[in-house]
Structure 1
Amino acid sequence: MDQVLSQQEIDKLLKAMNNGEIDQEEIEEQTNNTPKIKPYDFRRPSKLSKEYVNTLHMIFEDFSKMGTNVLSNLLRVNATLHLASIEQISFDEFIHSIPRITLIGLFHSKLVEKDSPMKGIQMVEMNPQLCTKLVELLCGGSENQVKEDQNNEAEVDEKKFTDIELAILKGVLEEVGQTFQNSWKDIVKIKTFLDSVDVNPQLLQSMSPNEPVILTTFSLDIGEFKTFLNICIPYVFYEGISDKLSFRNWFDSSQKLSEDDERALQRGLDNVLINMEVRLGNAKMEVSDLLHLEVGDVVKLNCKTVDPLPTYVNGMPYYYAKPGKKDGNLAIELLDKLEGDTENE
């Protein structure tokens, strides 16, 4: 646990790097010269395979893209969310890595297909600095004000949230929960609900200290303000859908759509506009003849007046048709199915 930085330590490091107090090139050089050895605790083996972790990376990359749009629209400023890391730790390690006073949204999810609750409580953690910026922007503050308030981090660390601030932040958490729900749509359809909001993680009793959790950390940039957002989910949540996390299952083309999906797809296709065209024919001529064409000249095409005309839908062969008139407009009567490409006939 000595190697896990607290949120305050992370914010101070970011601030020092932005101010030039830390030489990034020197750090990169030291990192490159350091042997890449990762300790392994046999008493607490990794629960997720590499394949499952790769799938989670794809899911949470989608979450970060959706979250970027949601936060930018909500805050009316440029907000960018990036996936920083996914790691397995214990619940106790997670609690000790976040500020003593911080905002935590507690969620539960259920499977839509089975209408059954999923195991485990999902947590979204937003540190006091982030919460302060969110409240300022949602209450009409400007991006410049957010930049000016970055120097007051010490005061924010011991912040106590008011009822009004909690009500505002609850709305943000609900948007995050909706984004989390949508990011899973390609894997499994779930519904996510916000149960409660807590500000003291030390008092949380939803899991045992040694419970294995998957901590997903996102870097969040709001203008020039930089911070992190954490999503902590117990392993039992993923255990119930482990078969869905396989690449083979995700990209299995043999999976059939449900009846509801087929009806929704059909409704969407019914209103799609397509382009149908009728080709009268074509002609070939020398460049010299083309250059001497004038108004009134007649160009002979390669088809006779009694020949059916080929029709195309979005450039693909469709039917042979007979030209005519209807209600004062040119019209066609479909004859035989057209197969192959008749463009060069």
Structure 2
Amino acid sequence: MADEVLSQSEIDKLLSALSDGTVSAEEVKADEEQKKVKVYDFKRPDKFSKDQIRTLYMLHESFARLLNTYLSTHLRTIVNVEVASVEQLTYQEFVQSLANPSVISILAVPPLKGNIIMEVNTEIAFAFIDRVFGGEGKASIKPRVLTDIEETVMKRFVDTAMEHFRDSWKNVCAFHPKLEATESNPQFTQIVPPSDMVVIVTIQMKIGDVEGMMNICIPYLVLEPIMSKLTTTFWVASSVSKEDANPEQVEMLQKKIERTRVPVIVELGRLNISIQEFLTLGFGDVLQLDTKVKDELPVLVGKRPKFKCRPGTAGKNMAVQITRIINEGDEDTDE
């Protein structure tokens, strides 16, 4: 903590008090020692370090981007999803902060033990449901418990959101989220003792003109086995590691590249003429190029020369024969 800077008038008053004996030097020294003491609440121990909180923030930024893409495509409207905050609280404080009713989903995350909670604000839930049913996505409905049909729609939303949640965590821990129960009253969602510490990821969501929050509650007991992996260094290293590449994805990407069509052009030659000469060209005119019959012609792939060739025929068709490869300008020129 930065030292407090006294003004000149405060310094004069302090010196005056010391000289008059009103305040002794020992009292000033004791006051300074008292300021160095940091209050610690044993009822709310800090379970997560700043680096771990930062890593959780980065993980859920990835989740927010994936969820934003899904909602924008699925709802066909303007959607904004971003992480608002990541903080640690007791579970009781989290439950007391939730509105009643809320759309609360209790999820298992095997192989990790315990449950996590995904809570969606009713305004966002009704805006999502209204948009799915063909409406404009306006939350004009007063907060209430969902009907069976509305609950089914929200279960599909949670299932898809959990797929993206799993993808954003895969570099740290490969778990498989599974919906176990849904509740509307926060008091009925006691997944851990009230005094246990949890990390709360608050995500700001906007669907059209409707704004709301989505909270993800992850108890410390769930994350305890993988706490050593919740570091920025580990997460970044796992994200860029080539060893984690999925062979199936690599093969699929290779097949797509092989099927990609690119323009291939053989340049017979060039010449420079004036606009006046160009305008007077007619059928049967002969243009003399700057190449000779025995010269190699460049083969352009896209707009870049990649080969040298000689012109000829293959049966009744015009063709070229590749004579050599041009490696100049390539990033990798391994023979």
Normalised TM-score (structure 1): 0.68
Aligned residues: 283
- How far the C-alpha of 1:99 sits from its partner, in A, is 1.9
How far, CA to CA, are the matches of 2:267 and 2:174 in structure 1? 47
Matches within 5 A, 1:1-345: 41=40, 43=42, 44-50=45-51, 52-75=52-75, 77-110=77-110, 117-143=111-137, 146-147=139-140, 149=141, 152=142, 156=143, 159-184=144-169, 190-239=175-224, 240=226, 242-243=228-229, 245-247=231-233, 248-250=236-238, 252=240, 255=243, 257-283=245-271, 285=272, 289=274, 291-293=276-278, 294-295=280-281, 296-301=285-290, 303-326=291-314, 328-340=316-328
- How far the C-alpha of 1:230 sits from its partner, in A, is 0.9
Is contact 2:298-2:307 (8 Å) kept?
A: yes
* Runs of at least 5 residues in structure 1 that lack an aligned partner in the other structure: 1-38, 111-116
RMSD: 3.2
Is contact 2:130-2:137 (8 Å) kept?
A: no
- How far the C-alpha of 1:324 sits from its partner, in A, is 1.7
Is contact 1:66-1:179 (8 Å) kept?
A: yes
Q: Answer with 1 or 2: which has the greater Rg.
A: 2
Secondary structure of the 1:318 match is strand
Is contact 1:80-1:222 (8 Å) kept?
A: yes
Task: State, as a whole percentage, how many aligned pairs show the same letter.
Answer: 24
Is contact 2:129-2:137 (8 Å) kept?
A: no
How far, CA to CA, are the matches of 2:312 and 2:221 in structure 1? 68
How far, CA to CA, are the matches of 1:49 and 1:143 in structure 2? 38
How far, CA to CA, are the matches of 1:188 and 1:304 in structure 2? 65
1:266-298 CA distance string (max 9 Å, x none): 223222222322222334x5x7x5643442242
Is contact 1:120-1:233 (8 Å) kept?
A: no
Distance 1:109 1:271, change over 3 A: farther
How far, CA to CA, are the matches of 1:282 and 1:40 in structure 2? 82
How far, CA to CA, are the matches of 2:78 and 2:39 in structure 1? 40
Is contact 1:310-1:338 (8 Å) kept?
A: no
Is contact 1:61-1:83 (8 Å) kept?
A: yes
Normalised TM-score (structure 2): 0.70
How far, CA to CA, are the matches of 1:249 and 1:292 in structure 2? 63
- How far the C-alpha of 1:45 sits from its partner, in A, is 2.1
Secondary structure of the 2:150 match is helix
Distance 1:262 1:96, change over 3 A: same
Distance 1:256 1:104, change over 3 A: closer
How far, CA to CA, are the matches of 2:264 and 2:223 in structure 1? 49
How far, CA to CA, are the matches of 1:221 and 1:135 in structure 2? 14
